Amino acid sequence: MRPLPRLVAATVAAVTAVTAVTLGAAVPTVAAGPAPAPPDRIDLPHGFQPEGIAIAGPSAYFGSLADGSIYAADLRTGEGRRLRPGPGVPAVGLKAEGSKLYVAGGPSGTARVVDRATGRVLSTLRLARDESFVNDVVIARGAAWFTDSTSPRLWRVPLGRDGVPRTADVRTLRLRGEWRQPEAGEFGANGISRTPDGTALLVVESTGGRLYRVPMRGQRTGVAERVRVSGVRLTNGDGMLLQPADDLLYVVLNRRNKVALLGLDDAGRTASKRGFLTSPDFDVPTTIARWRDRVYLPNARFTTTPRPGTRYSAYGVPQP
C-alpha cells in the first residue's frame, strides 16, 4: 500500500475533517504490517482419526475415519469447526469441486457427495456390493474417480450438471494390462491423481510400491501400464498431489513418514526421484493438498491406538 500524502495546509486539513464527520467516513489509520504467517499446525478434534484432506481457497477439509464427519479449518488462522455430526460411515479420501466434497467411504463400499459449507450429505452412492475399500478420489474429465484397495478396479462417477450424481450413474472400471493385484488382506490401489497432460490417471499400489498409468478414455480405458519410476520404490504409497506446472508428483509414503517427489514426463509414463519431503512432526501422514507455498498433510497416527482423547493434527510444510 502506498503511504497517504501529508496534508500540509491547515485549511485543507480542516475541510477534510469536516467532510469526514459529515459523511460518516472512517478516519484513515496507519497501514498495517504484513499479514502473519499461517500456522504450521492445524489442531483437529480429539479422537477425530483424520485420513483425507481437500483444500479450496484458504479452507481445508478433513474427513474422519471414526464417524465420517468433516472438519473445516481456516488455513490463515488454524481455527476450525466440525461441520455436523458424521453419518457413522468412515470418510477416507476426499476432494473438493465447486461447492461440494466427494468423499470415499472405505469398507462401506459407498461414496458420498457433501455440501462443503454445511457438511450435509447430498447423495450417497453404492459403488460395490461385495468386499471393497473405497479409498481415494480425484476429479478429472468431468468425473470423480475412486480407487478400491481390495480389488483391481476403479469407479467413475460423472459429476453431472448439478454435481450430485446418483448410483445409476456409477461405472466400474476393471484394471487390466500390467496391473498386479496384491494378495488378499494387502492394500492395492490407494492414492490417485492424473497425468500432467490430463489424458490418464496415475494410481499407486501400496503393497508393491508400484505406480500405474490408466487411460480414462478410448479402447485402452482401464488397461494399466506400469510407470517406469527410477530412484525410489513407492512402498506405503498413499495420497498423491500433482503440481502440473512443474510436472511434479508428490506421493505420500505414510508409515515411512516422508513424501516422495517425482518428476514426470507429460504423459506420465516415466518418473524419476527429485527428492523427499519430511518433517519431525510427521506421524503417519496419509494425504496431501496445497495452499499457496505450502503443502498440508494430516497425521493419521496409525501406529497409535485410537481413543476418544487421542490428539490429532495436520501440518503445513513449505514446498521444496
List the CATH number of the domain containing 200: 2.130.10.10
The answer to the question of residue 196 being in a domain is yes
Predicted local distance difference test score (pLDDT) of residue 163: 83
Is the pLDDT assigned to residue 231 strictly greater than 90?
A: yes
The answer to the question of residue 33 being in a domain is no
The answer to the question of residue 38 being in a domain is no
The answer to the question of residue 28 being in a domain is no
Query: Which of the residue ranges 127-131, 219-223, 241-245, 263-267 would you say has the lowest mean pLDDT?
Result: 219-223
The Cα–Cα gap between 267 and 210 comes to: 17
Q: Which among 247, 313, 241 is positioned nearest to 279, based on CA atoms?
A: 313
CB 75 within 8 A of CB 298: no
Range(s) of the domain holding residue 143: 44-318
Predicted local distance difference test score (pLDDT) of residue 33: 61
Predicted local distance difference test score (pLDDT) of residue 161: 81
The answer to the question of residue 11 being in a domain is no
The answer to the question of residue 10 being in a domain is no
**Predicted confidence band of residue 299 (pLDDT cuts 50, 70, 90):** very high
The answer to the question of residue 200 being in a domain is yes
pLDDT digits (tens, 9 = 90+) for 166-188: 899 999 999 999 999 999 989 99
Number of domains the chain contains: 1
Q: Quote the pTM value.
A: 0.88
Query: Which of the residue ranges 105-109, 244-248, 287-291 would you say has the lowest mean pLDDT?
Result: 244-248
The answer to the question of residue 7 being in a domain is no
- In degrees, rounded to 5, the angle at the alpha carbon of residue 57 between the alpha carbons of residues 56 and 59 is 70
- Could you please report the per-residue DSSP string of 234-258? -TTEEEEEEEGGGTEEEEEEGGGTE
